[in-house]
Amino acid sequence: MALKRALDVFLATASGAILALVAGAVIWQVVTRYILGIPSTSTSEIARLLFMWLALLSGAYAFGQKRHLAIDFLPQTLTGRSRTAAEATILAIVAIFAGLVMVRGGSDLVLRTLMSGQITPTLGLPMGWIYAAIPVAGGAILFYCLWFARGLARGEDDGILPSSDSNTTG
């Protein structure tokens, strides 16, 4: 439980901090462009790059909190073993995507981009560090999948659907 809680806190804190930085960059861009008359050349790139991290980390956090967008019609119509099987299948599909596409494919993209020396146009940052958001978020989603599958197997959790006592919809 402590490991999941630590990941939850990390993703929530990182997402909040990045959101504040994106907002600050956009506000500064508006101030420099329309008030000072000298547009900042780097703030739009900063906002774009941070937004990629924000979207991926926040998406992983939403998945971990069972607040993600889901088509849950089928699992909600099932009960007992068939519902558990449907939940396990959904978790397996998400885990395979997170593991193969996001972690493995994202890591390959990061390494290839770092080796190619590709940098951002204005800031000159290595693009590999920007793309690193993909495997980081994928790793978090994969962890959550394994956590939910463990709970599902123990009968402690209902997979990725919000709990029945929750006021949210899946």
pLDDT in tens, 51-64: 999 999 999 999 99
pLDDT above 80 (res 164): no
Distance between CA atoms of residues 38 and 31, nearest Å: 9
SS3 78: coil
pLDDT tops 90 at residue 167: no
pLDDT over 90 at 80, yes or no: no
With a cut of 90, say whether residue 70 has pLDDT above it.
no
Mean pLDDT throughout 26-50?
Answer: 93
- Smallest Cα–Cα separation from 65: which of 130, 122, 156, 148? 148
Predicted confidence (pLDDT) at residue 166 exceeds the cutoff of 80: no
Residue 160 contacts residue 83 (beta carbons within 8 Å): no
User: In this predicted structure, what is the pLDDT of residue 84?
Assistant: 86
Tell me the percentage of the chain whose pLDDT exceeds 70: 91
Q: Which single residue is written with the structure tokens 């993209």?
A: 109
Amino acid letter, 100: L
pLDDT over 90 for what percent of the chain?
Answer: 71
SS3 119: strand
pLDDT of 83 strictly over 80 = yes
Q: What does the block give as tokens for 105? A: 């494919």
Give residue 162's pLDDT band: very low, low, confident or very high (50, 70, 90): low
Per-residue pLDDT at 163 exceeds 60: no
Query: Higher confidence at residue 165 or residue 112?
Result: 112
Cα separation, 153 vs 73, in Å, equals 22
Q: Largest Cα–Cα distance of the chain, in whole Å? A: 65
